[in-house]
């Protein structure tokens, strides 16, 4: 699939077991072409650890000043946020893992608030339209969640954000 970002073009291929689907209001998204069991790796994270100041909006926060990022678009850049996700980021292994069964045909999602401390500071915050009963409404970063919201995410938090709970 050929995807344009600005003046650059990227030839993307979804990893085995996944497919790209265009979703109105979200754009290109990743969906399961097979069933994934809880605990199963769904997709790897591509990229290098870079400083925050040189990271892209698609990067995943690794620690206070580092993100996992690439200089090109990759399939993982099309994993959308959900306040009721079916995956979590396993940063030490650099992969996304199913936190419950993901059925064939389901969109794969993770909660950006489980890795990102302050999206507002980077201008990557956004209004959430996931439709979950526990939707936070506006995704600004873990920093902006109340105590109850933070504790609810504890089981799927990145090591960096777990350290913020201490």
Which tokens belong to 131? 């439709």
> What per-residue confidence (pLDDT) applies to 163?
96
Rounded distance between C-alpha atoms, residue 12 and residue 31, angstroms? 14
What are 84-134's pLDDT values in tens digits?
A: 999 999 999 999 999 999 999 999 999 999 999 999 999 999 999 888 998
Q: Where are the domains of the chain?
A: 2-124+141-158
Cα angle value 152/45/57 (rounded, 5°): 75
Check: CB of residue 132 under 8 Å from CB of residue 83.
yes
Task: Judge whether residue 44 has pLDDT over 90.
Answer: yes
Rounded distance between C-alpha atoms, residue 166 and residue 164, angstroms? 6
3-state SS string for 16-45: CCEEEEEECCCEEEEEECCCECCCCEEEEC
What are 72-95's pLDDT values in tens digits?
A: 889 999 999 999 999 999 999 999
Check: CB of residue 69 under 8 Å from CB of residue 77.
no
More confident position, 150 or 3: 150
For the domain covering 2-124+141-158, report its CATH number. 2.170.270.10
Average pLDDT value for the chain = 94
pTM: 0.93
> What per-residue confidence (pLDDT) applies to 3?
76
């Amino acid at each position: 699939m050929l995807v344009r970002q600005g003046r650059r073009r990227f030839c993307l291929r979804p990893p085995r077991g996944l497919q790209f689907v265009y979703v109105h209001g979200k754009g290109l998204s990743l969906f399961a072409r097979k069933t994934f069991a809880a605990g199963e790796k769904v997709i790897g994270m591509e990229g290098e650890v870079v400083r925050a100041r040189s990271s892209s909006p698609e990067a995943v926060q690794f620690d206070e000043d580092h993100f996992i990022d690439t200089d090109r678009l990759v399939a993982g850049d099309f994993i959308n946020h959900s306040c009721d996700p079916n995956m979590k980021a396993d940063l030490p292994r650099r992969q996304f893992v199913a936190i419950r069964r993901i059925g064939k045909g389901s969109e794969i999602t993770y909660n950006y608030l489980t890795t990102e401390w302050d999206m507002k500071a980077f201008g990557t915050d956004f209004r959430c339209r996931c439709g979950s009963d526990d939707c936070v409404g506006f995704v600004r970063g873990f920093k902006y969640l109340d105590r109850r919201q933070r504790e609810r995410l504890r089981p799927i938090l990145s090591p960096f954000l777990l350290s913020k709970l201490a």
